[in-house]
Amino acid sequence: MLWIEAVRQLSSNLVEPFALEFVWRNLHELTKLQWLNLQKEIISETEWTELKSIAQRLENDEPPQYIVGWAEFCDLKLIVDERVLIPRPETEELVQMILSDNDASARAVLDIGTGSGAIALALAQQRMQWKITAVDISEAALEVARENASKHNLVLKFIHSDVFENIQEKYDIIVSNPPYIAFDETYEMDQSVIRFEPDGALFAEHQGLAIYEKIAERAQNHLKPEGKIYLEIGYKQGEKVKALFEDRFPGKTVNIHQDIFGKDRIVSVQ
């Protein structure tokens, strides 16, 4: 059987050909051209067994990024596994907003709920003068973040902390993409997310607002007078999160920003 026939046979409504291609190419370090040339060849029994195994994992909703062990974020190839959330394209918009709003001069930055380190590392790569601290309540997530920092030769400070619990300093920028999904909103989620990504990085009490409430309550103690806050939010949370921070920061302007799909996605305080 030719490779192209094998891929066609294993493809279904649950397994897209591009997903099989993505996983195989990355596990075997093939270029796009090498993959295309492979389609004309006869598939070996060993390859057929491996390809079927990959298809089964995809059919069982395992994310392709977890199978290959990495995800791309802001031109960084980041290690990901079931200890951390897979970084989303919408979060790249959060990074770009921070970079657009703030020049390269020295700043102290705190990333709350860093997970894989995606936001902190993307900022560190573009702003070498910034002193960046990344915190997470999950020690397992911090292990991944440290691995990613080492992989990309980026120097950050990592702290095990529940929001500000183990933080003493004040910062020019506080950023967070916290867990913000309400426990009764799983009907909106893909099975791959529910089954494989860590609950602690997804769900929060108080209809998904619990971490924003913690940040709003204590951020005054850790934000410099001219400091700024940037938060990724769920698309239905804009007005509630905005009200939280307007109450705690009456002297600052709180804005809701939409993502490329026109959905509320970021709240800024500055």
pLDDT, position 202: 85
Distance of alpha carbon 172 from alpha carbon 35, whole angstroms: 47
**pLDDT (tens digit per residue) in 117-141:** 999 999 999 999 999 999 999 999 9
**pLDDT (tens digit per residue) in 165-187:** 999 999 999 999 999 887 777 77
Measured at the CA of 64, the angle between CA 59 and CA 66, to 5 degrees, comes to: 115
Distance of alpha carbon 62 from alpha carbon 66, whole angstroms: 7
Residues 6+ apart with CB under 8 A from 256: 238, 239, 241, 242, 264, 266, 267
Distance of alpha carbon 204 from alpha carbon 199, whole angstroms: 9
State yes or no: 136 annotated in a binding site: yes
pLDDT, position 205: 84
Residues 6+ apart with CB under 8 A from 178: 112, 113, 204, 211, 212, 215, 231, 232
State yes or no: 238 annotated in a binding site: no
State yes or no: 114 annotated in a binding site: yes
State yes or no: 251 annotated in a binding site: no
pLDDT, position 125: 97
State yes or no: 262 annotated in a binding site: no
Distance of alpha carbon 105 from alpha carbon 204, whole angstroms: 35
State yes or no: 61 annotated in a binding site: no
Measured at the CA of 105, the angle between CA 167 and CA 256, to 5 degrees, comes to: 65
Q: Encode the chain (270 residues) as per-residue pLDDT tens digits.
A: 999 999 999 987 678 889 999 999 999 999 999 999 999 999 999 999 999 999 999 999 999 999 999 999 999 999 999 999 999 999 999 999 999 999 999 999 999 999 999 999 999 999 999 999 999 999 999 999 999 999 999 999 999 999 999 999 999 999 999 998 877 777 777 887 878 888 888 887 888 899 999 999 999 999 999 999 999 999 999 999 999 999 999 999 999 999 999 999 999 999
pLDDT, position 194: 77
pLDDT, position 187: 74
State yes or no: 66 annotated in a binding site: no
Q: At 210, which amino acid appears?
A: A
Measuring CA to CA, how many Å separate 242 from each of 80, 92, 236? 31, 21, 12
State yes or no: 247 annotated in a binding site: no
Count Cβ neighbours within 10 Å for each residue of 235-249 and write b for 16 or more, e otherwise.
Answer: eebbebbbebbeebb
State yes or no: 250 annotated in a binding site: no
State yes or no: 113 annotated in a binding site: yes
